C-alpha cells in the first residue's frame, strides 16, 4: 500500500486503539494517523461524514464500541446505538470516501454452546445484548461497504480495564478470588491483535477474519497463569461456576475461535496465548513481580 496511507482510528483512547497506535509509531514513516475518541461521536452520522469528507482517510479502523456487557444488558438502546448504528455510520462514511473499513468484533457473537472450534463460516447466534449488537454492527458494515474487514477476537486484555487488570487489583487485598472454570476461550493481548490488524490492513483481503491467540484455557486457568507469572499468590484463586459470578449476564461459555481465514490466506500467524501473555508481561516489567 502507499507510503502516504492515511488511517483514521475511532475509539483511539481505548486499549486496542492505543495498541494499534504503538505498532504504527514503530513504522511511522508509512502512516499518516488520524485519531478520534469522544470528539467525533460515531453515533452521529453528520459528525462522522463531515470528518471523513474533510480528512479523506484510506482506511478507517473502528475500535469504538460499548463493551461493558452488564451495561449493554441494562441499556439495549444505547448498546445498539453505539455498536450497530455507530458501525453503520463509520462504514457508510468509509464507502463515501472509498476507504477500507476495519470493524472490530467479538467472540460473543456466538452462542458458546458448542465444544469445538468456531470458524468464520460457523453460524452466529448470540445470547447477550452485547453480542447481538456487535453482530448487528457486523451486518451493517458488510452490507454498506464491500471494502470491509470484520475482525473478531476473544478475551482481549491490554493497558486498560479488563479481566487481567481487575484480577491484579483484587489480589492486592489478599482475599479469596472466585473465577469461572467453565468458561473457555483464548486470551489475546492487544499487542498481538494490533500486529494482526496491521497485516490484514496492508493486505488486499476482505471479509470476516478471526484473530485470537492459539490454544485455549478456562478463565480460572488464565487467572492462575497470570498470578504465577507476576509473582502473586495463585492459591487465592477458587474455581466457581460462571452462573454464580455473572450477576445474570449470560456470557458464552465455550468460544474458541479458529483463525481459519488467516491460515488459508497465510496473512499472519497469531501466537500461542501462553507465549503472548509472557511477552506482554515482560515488555511491561510485570513478569515475576518485577
Report CA-CA distances (Å) from 146 to 15, 52, 165, 201, 266.
27, 17, 37, 14, 22
Residue 37 has pLDDT above 70, yes or no: yes
Q: What's the pLDDT score for residue 247?
A: 62
At residue 249, the pLDDT reads: 62
Per-residue pLDDT of 110-154, as tens digits, reads 999 988 999 999 999 999 999 999 999 999 999 999 999 999 999
Q: Kindly report, residue by residue over 150-198, the tens digit of the pLDDT.
A: 999 999 999 999 999 999 999 999 999 999 999 999 999 999 999 999 9
Q: Which three cell numbers, joined as nine digits, stand for 185?
A: 476461550
Position 289 confidence tier, pLDDT thresholds 50, 70, 90: low
Query: Quick one: which of 152, 154, 158 has its CA closest to 185?
Result: 154
Section 43-62 average pLDDT? 98
pTM of the model: 0.95
Mean pLDDT of 55-83: 97
Distance CA 104, CA 190 (A): 12
Residue ranges and CATH numbers for the domains of the chain are 5-162+187-215+255-272 (3.40.50.720)
Cell output for 255 = 468460544
Question: Residue 143 in contact with residue 121, Cβ under 8 Å?
Answer: no
Amino acid at each position: 500500500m502507499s507510503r502516504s496511507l492515511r488511517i483514521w482510528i475511532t475509539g483511539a483512547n481505548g486499549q486496542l486503539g492505543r495498541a494499534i497506535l504503538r505498532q504504527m509509531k514503530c513504522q511511522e514513516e508509512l502512516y499518516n494517523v488520524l485519531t478520534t475518541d469522544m470528539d467525533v461521536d460515531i453515533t452521529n452520522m453528520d459528525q462522522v461524514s463531515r470528518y471523513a469528507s474533510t480528512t479523506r482517510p484510506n482506511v478507517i479502523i473502528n475500535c469504538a464500541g460499548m463493551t461493558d456487557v452488564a451495561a449493554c444488558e441494562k441499556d439495549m438502546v444505547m448498546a445498539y446505538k453505539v455498536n450497530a448504528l455507530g458501525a453503520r455510520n463509520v462504514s457508510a462514511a468509509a464507502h463515501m470516501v472509498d476507504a477500507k473499513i476495519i470493524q472490530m468484533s467479538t467472540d460473543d457473537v456466538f452462542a458458546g454452546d458448542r465444544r469445538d472450534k468456531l470458524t468464520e463460516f460457523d453460524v452466529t447466534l448470540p445470547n447477550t445484548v452485547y453480542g447481538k449488537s456487535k453482530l448487528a454492527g457486523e451486518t451493517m458494515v458488510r452490507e454498506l461497504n464491500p471494502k470491509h474487514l470484520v475482525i473478531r477476537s476473544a478475551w482481549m486484555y491490554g493497558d486498560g480495564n479488563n479481566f487481567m487488570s481487575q484480577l491484579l487489583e483484587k489480589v492486592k487485598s489478599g482475599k479469596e478470588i472466585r473465577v469461572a472454570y467453565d468458561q473457555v476461550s483464548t486470551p489475546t493481548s492487544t499487542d498481538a491483535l494490533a500486529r494482526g490488524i496491521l497485516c490484514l490492513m496492508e493486505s488486499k483481503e476482505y471479509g470476516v477474519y478471526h484473530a485470537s491467540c492459539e490454544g485455549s484455557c478456562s478463565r480460572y486457568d488464565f487467572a492462575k497463569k497470570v498470578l504465577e507469572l507476576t509473582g502473586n499468590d495463585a492459591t487465592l484463586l477458587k474455581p466457581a461456576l460462571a452462573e454464580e459470578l455473572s450477576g445474570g449476564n449470560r456470557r458464552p461459555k465455550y468460544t474458541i475461535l479458529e483463525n481459519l481465514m488467516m491460515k488459508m490466506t497465510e496473512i499472519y500467524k497469531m501466537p500461542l496465548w501462553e507465549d503472548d501473555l509472557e511477552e506482554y508481561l515482560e515488555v511491561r516489567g510485570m513478569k515475576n513481580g518485577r
